[in-house]
Structure 1
């Protein structure tokens, strides 16, 4: 529909006291009894405006459209949220789908409601290259809206929950797409924000939509639990209750029922049968204070023996979403484990409602452990990475990484606690502390022991990062980091370094090319240089230099175009051009070393200009060089600089006696000459002799010669040859 000009909401939309209130609105009235009467009147006003705006619109189920936003408001009312959130929920589709404007909403219900509605408004009108890109951009915009007001995500999750409850009206492909999106994005967001009740229902509805038969089978088996299990539950509950009462504790004891989705997930991820998953009893003990939690833990451990290594204290160290509880696993009387969670009423409320608990439970809502402040920190971290990412798809990838439900809890040298996703490495920790520390990291000390940056961390470790000013990110780092922040920072720094290297190398290449033509970049008139940049559509000289280094422009051709305009240089002079570029080896962004011949400093080398990759360096005796001579315009005369830096890969074929311990002897000999081993592979092997390929790192030909001499001294070695 075409939006109307900004105007106040018409008076005709008011509902008189005599008007009948439909059943779906009566449900909302009953759910909002916690609000004062004047606020409930405002809610009725919002309904009348929404009903008038959506008049004539129907859902796929055949119901009037207004039933959907009211149902969304009911979901939120069950969380006991504030009046502004409920009004925005009722009106959340009006800006997009009706003639009502943002200005009209702001004038009638206030600026906050208008902002919430705008934040929730869908983004289907934007044009993207693919469905995945559209979903990624929508998520990015939603995160930005969440940063302004967390209530946006409350409405969005309630909207998705009601859509999932009524998903049956959608056609098959749309149903599957929405269900998968719910399981991949919305349920994990709900979990990340501590809203476990909504998360559990989203997961179960998504599972039901994707695999209806599997869901039905599991649900039936849960319902028809054997009598023996029901008796076991009653017996365990009675023993726990008896001891808790005797200890003088005020408590609530509830049995935990597994959902079809959680059972299915455990069966899939852990390879267990239905019986194995169900053969675990679960209880929740809810007490008055944090001190009572630890008292109740002692009581539970006195009833049944605890399982070693399965106790987790999320009260002292809360999860990233604000969740607090004590978890323990006990040996049950029937040989089955008993999972017990112990928490206070406030902790239970936050565990169920997460950020929504802020409005329902006023005490402690602004503390450092509150779900809301933690949610703000998480979103702030995502937005920081979003500013550095170039695409929505990369942002989506980072969000999915950060939605891992399992975390490790680590200590800084000062004793502060940091939480990171499962499988995080020491390098992830470095970037979590600060981007600059990550960029300069060289190693880490875990509990005082020096370890490589790729070392995976486990809860309770104390981490200290070792840095060096000369260190910089490497492409290989992307292979083992687990967090979106680390991945984004590494990519951004690599792009920056590559661009700087490319500009410097491009300068050297164009300078050499111009020298051969009797001129230089400094002697060219500025007007000519500017005119060429305009002709070639480069905003700055640096962009041209980078393109030359990356092989997208040939330096000789650019030099000729510039010099001919200046003084008419003959082509035969260009043909004699044989500029030599000297390389240090640290121009890794624009210079790569060929795997076919693995050149190292000291080798006689040549360069081949490859579009998009820059210069690929080969040894002059490489078998591929003959092919490169067919494209002389791409051939570059290059040589090593006097000062060369870095380590270079080289492969050795070593023939040794085939008996135990030989491999260790060779590896030790290589290590004694300060060379790293990247890989080992058996090429040939018989009963007496084995040929092994060692991929190692050396600094130059002299270093390689030292390695080969040291290996040849071993009595078990028959021969060494560079491959």
Structure 2
């Protein structure tokens, strides 16, 4: 365990004016409070807070943060109290210790709803003082370094929580070194075989190619000397988890991966960064599409650097990062650079961001989310996405997560622009709203007076800000529509049990469901936040059947006008249980599409033809045709067994067509009549479990037999 003298010396290295007396007092107090307590490894418990404090000295943090690390478990695990700590060390430190204690009590890896609630609390703690998170991250890092002493099931739980929450959070805060180490430590627990295999391949590669890092580092230093550029060059192999993730993303083996080495160049000035880039690109061949300039367009956490990937004569790629010393300090400590010291004074780094402003910009778009799950979705979208930079027609730079769409771009400019968006041009060409934007593209948003957000936009937008704004607008503009739809759903539901949905009945249902009015009940029913079965059950619990009779096909879809007929679109073959929309045809009724059907793009500029529809709740008959693409063994009796299996699942084969015959396998399209999406899932699961079935896919591109089935 690090002694008090050693800890003080670590702090004094970067802050000679440190309050040595207060740090020693906190060290003694923490050791006294934890006296007799031991860790899973059998070591004295106080070794942990001291190790956390030592980790934070590597980031050159202020005295208050170091002392908080020493005391961070005292309120939770000892007889110490908030009042006692405030009396001995001041209100600031007491508040920080209390904040870390509350974070420790959050079970971030529990059920989805609980996780969402705790994420909101996590962000509230961050907004009060970001140093609370810095201590918690260091706490998690030390726990992961010593995780082997825990039970195997606890190791997996903590590793998964680290991989899903703490590592991405460290990355978003700009502490990439911590993210890399946390991910690798979690990877060691979650997939030890995968990690070991990558390390073995690295060793083999080094034997075959020699010390690549030393050779390339030497070449770079030589080139900079010739150009008269003062620069430090560092090289390293990427972490095993980083390589594993790249293998999964690119679906390629280790031998085909090229950029597994990274090099960092630290220069004296910004001008030298660009000069060094020129030297690198002259000496090595630049890889197209792998250049990012975060100096001219910094990340929101203050990160600045030039990224490029180059390849040598042997075809091996290496990643290069170029930055100044000040930029490097921010790159290492991220948002924590605001509190870091150098030579005894608070570091005056022009690239360090204001933590209050950073956390405010990160959370402002989440404030309108009343639903915990929506909040969790928005946070994860904003927290864990890389960024792309696009330009407005005026030359303004708009930052979006990777995968952002023109709709996200519109909302990033202003909510009013997003609401009025009817289309977009990218680099002068008209594109669909769901187009994925790329770095450097110019985007022009086309707006129209009277345009309003549509429900389908929620599937197009990917940013938390856009989704939150769309949901708020839909809630406001659709309340009346949802009330009308809810009234229709309620009428059908009560008629199904032989009753009428009178106003008094609806008011009684609202009261029993603890809602403020019948209109609120109808709005929630119409927006699918409440089921019609629950509404009926709130008034007539004895009349609700346990299983329910089969729904008449004529009443299978809710939201049609009186006398309107419908048919399922053969292109997507929607099933009960899937989200649907309707497209109206003059004289032909309504064609029902799945919400993700690609054909809907043809009607994007005809919003007047769209209908918001819902499947009726209850038991549907097995008469909705779905086409399956099945590849199976070409052996005697296989087709018969498959047909028997399908019948055993309560499904009926209405048509089949052989597509391809081979000596060992043959492929066919099966038209199968099903009840709903759950029935389809059960059938596909059963088929995939059959040893003679090689592959089963649902067809969504209007095969001939699907068109024949829908025409009948």
Q: TM-score, normalised by structure 1?
A: 0.69
| Residue aligned with 2:430, SS | strand
Give, in angstroms, the shift of residue 371 of structure 1.
5.0
Go from structure 1 to structure 2 and tell me whether the alpha carbon gap of 1:675 and 1:272 turns closer, same or farther (over 3 Å shift): same
Give, in angstroms, the shift of residue 195 of structure 1.
0.3
Deviates more, 1:450-459 or 1:466-475: 466-475
Between the aligned partners of 1:270 and 1:129, the Cα distance in structure 2 is 28
User: Match of 2:282?
Assistant: 302
Deviates more, 1:442-451 or 1:419-428: 442-451
Give, in angstroms, the shift of residue 68 of structure 1.
1.3
| Residue aligned with 2:237, SS | coil
| Residue aligned with 1:464, SS | strand
Between the aligned partners of 2:65 and 2:143, the Cα distance in structure 1 is 18
User: In the alignment, which of 13, 31, 45 is matched to residue 10 of structure 2?
Assistant: 31
| Residue aligned with 2:310, SS | strand
User: In the alignment, which of 405, 411, 414 is matched to residue 434 of structure 1?
Assistant: 414
Between the aligned partners of 2:489 and 2:610, the Cα distance in structure 1 is 34
User: Match of 1:573?
Assistant: none
- Contact preservation (8 Å) 1:547, 1:553: no
Between the aligned partners of 1:449 and 1:263, the Cα distance in structure 2 is 37
Go from structure 1 to structure 2 and tell me whether the alpha carbon gap of 1:648 and 1:197 turns closer, same or farther (over 3 Å shift): farther
Cα shift readout 1:414-466 (whole Å, capped 9, x = no counterpart):
32212111111111112222333323322123233333321211111222322
- Contact preservation (8 Å) 2:433, 2:460: no
Go from structure 1 to structure 2 and tell me whether the alpha carbon gap of 1:673 and 1:50 turns closer, same or farther (over 3 Å shift): closer
Deviates more, 1:485-494 or 1:537-546: 537-546
The reply on whether 1:65 has 2:6 as its aligned counterpart is no
What count of residue pairs does the alignment treat as equivalent?
580
User: Match of 2:591?
Assistant: 650
Go from structure 1 to structure 2 and tell me whether the alpha carbon gap of 1:245 and 1:198 turns closer, same or farther (over 3 Å shift): same
Between the aligned partners of 1:73 and 1:495, the Cα distance in structure 2 is 48
User: In the alignment, which of 248, 254, 259 is matched to residue 239 of structure 2?
Assistant: 259
RMSD across aligned positions (CA)? 4.9
User: Match of 2:89?
Assistant: 109
Deviates more, 1:261-270 or 1:159-168: 261-270
User: In the alignment, which of 222, 233, 237 is matched to residue 242 of structure 1?
Assistant: 222
User: In the alignment, which of 397, 404, 411 is matched to residue 391 of structure 2?
Assistant: 411
Between the aligned partners of 2:172 and 2:452, the Cα distance in structure 1 is 32
Give, in angstroms, the shift of residue 260 of structure 1.
1.2
Between the aligned partners of 1:207 and 1:168, the Cα distance in structure 2 is 13
Between the aligned partners of 1:295 and 1:142, the Cα distance in structure 2 is 43
Cα shift readout 1:490-538 (whole Å, capped 9, x = no counterpart):
2333333343334467899999x9xxxxxx99xx9xxx99999878865
User: Match of 1:481?
Assistant: 461
Q: TM-score, normalised by structure 2?
A: 0.70
User: Match of 2:169?
Assistant: 189
- Contact preservation (8 Å) 1:106, 1:114: yes
Between the aligned partners of 2:453 and 2:24, the Cα distance in structure 1 is 58
Cα shift readout 1:385-424 (whole Å, capped 9, x = no counterpart):
4333234333222222223342211122332212111111
Between the aligned partners of 2:243 and 2:321, the Cα distance in structure 1 is 18
User: Match of 2:353?
Assistant: 372
Give, in angstroms, the shift of residue 196 of structure 1.
1.0
Go from structure 1 to structure 2 and tell me whether the alpha carbon gap of 1:262 and 1:529 turns closer, same or farther (over 3 Å shift): closer
Go from structure 1 to structure 2 and tell me whether the alpha carbon gap of 1:491 and 1:93 turns closer, same or farther (over 3 Å shift): same
User: Match of 2:692?
Assistant: none
Go from structure 1 to structure 2 and tell me whether the alpha carbon gap of 1:37 and 1:429 turns closer, same or farther (over 3 Å shift): closer
User: Match of 1:158?
Assistant: 138
Cα shift readout 1:223-268 (whole Å, capped 9, x = no counterpart):
4543552355444333322221122111101112211111211222
Deviates more, 1:267-276 or 1:669-678: 669-678
| Residue aligned with 1:99, SS | coil
User: Match of 1:81?
Assistant: 61
Between the aligned partners of 2:371 and 2:97, the Cα distance in structure 1 is 26
Go from structure 1 to structure 2 and tell me whether the alpha carbon gap of 1:533 and 1:167 turns closer, same or farther (over 3 Å shift): closer
User: Match of 1:401?
Assistant: 381
- Contact preservation (8 Å) 1:281, 1:336: no
Between the aligned partners of 1:675 and 1:463, the Cα distance in structure 2 is 26
User: Match of 1:543?
Assistant: 520
Between the aligned partners of 2:199 and 2:524, the Cα distance in structure 1 is 61
Between the aligned partners of 1:388 and 1:303, the Cα distance in structure 2 is 52
Deviates more, 1:228-237 or 1:197-206: 228-237
- Contact preservation (8 Å) 2:566, 2:590: no
The reply on whether 1:201 has 2:181 as its aligned counterpart is yes
Between the aligned partners of 2:509 and 2:187, the Cα distance in structure 1 is 61
Between the aligned partners of 1:199 and 1:623, the Cα distance in structure 2 is 52
Structure 1 residue runs without a partner (length 5+): 1-21, 514-519, 558-593, 598-607, 625-643, 653-666, 687-718
- Contact preservation (8 Å) 2:341, 2:347: no
Go from structure 1 to structure 2 and tell me whether the alpha carbon gap of 1:232 and 1:206 turns closer, same or farther (over 3 Å shift): closer
Go from structure 1 to structure 2 and tell me whether the alpha carbon gap of 1:670 and 1:266 turns closer, same or farther (over 3 Å shift): closer
| Residue aligned with 2:367, SS | helix
| Residue aligned with 1:81, SS | coil
- Contact preservation (8 Å) 2:234, 2:263: yes
Cα shift readout 1:524-557 (whole Å, capped 9, x = no counterpart):
9xxx999998788653464366478789899xx9
Cα shift readout 1:175-227 (whole Å, capped 9, x = no counterpart):
11111111111111111111011111101111111122332332344345435
Between the aligned partners of 1:95 and 1:365, the Cα distance in structure 2 is 34
Between the aligned partners of 2:327 and 2:346, the Cα distance in structure 1 is 11
| Residue aligned with 2:462, SS | coil
User: In the alignment, which of 422, 442, 464 is matched to residue 402 of structure 2?
Assistant: 422
Structure 2 residue runs without a partner (length 5+): 495-501, 537-550, 569-584, 594-599, 612-626, 630-654, 659-707
Go from structure 1 to structure 2 and tell me whether the alpha carbon gap of 1:475 and 1:41 turns closer, same or farther (over 3 Å shift): same
- Contact preservation (8 Å) 1:549, 1:614: no
Go from structure 1 to structure 2 and tell me whether the alpha carbon gap of 1:540 and 1:271 turns closer, same or farther (over 3 Å shift): closer
Deviates more, 1:304-313 or 1:119-128: 119-128
Give, in angstroms, the shift of residue 595 of structure 1.
12
Go from structure 1 to structure 2 and tell me whether the alpha carbon gap of 1:230 and 1:438 turns closer, same or farther (over 3 Å shift): same
Task: Please identify the structure whose Cα radius of gyration is greater.
Answer: 1
| Residue aligned with 1:216, SS | helix
| Residue aligned with 1:256, SS | strand
- Contact preservation (8 Å) 1:437, 1:467: yes
- Contact preservation (8 Å) 1:444, 1:451: yes
| Residue aligned with 1:255, SS | strand
| Residue aligned with 1:330, SS | strand
User: In the alignment, which of 316, 327, 331 is matched to residue 351 of structure 1?
Assistant: 331
Between the aligned partners of 2:294 and 2:207, the Cα distance in structure 1 is 34
Go from structure 1 to structure 2 and tell me whether the alpha carbon gap of 1:239 and 1:536 turns closer, same or farther (over 3 Å shift): closer
Give, in angstroms, the shift of residue 384 of structure 1.
3.1
| Residue aligned with 2:217, SS | helix
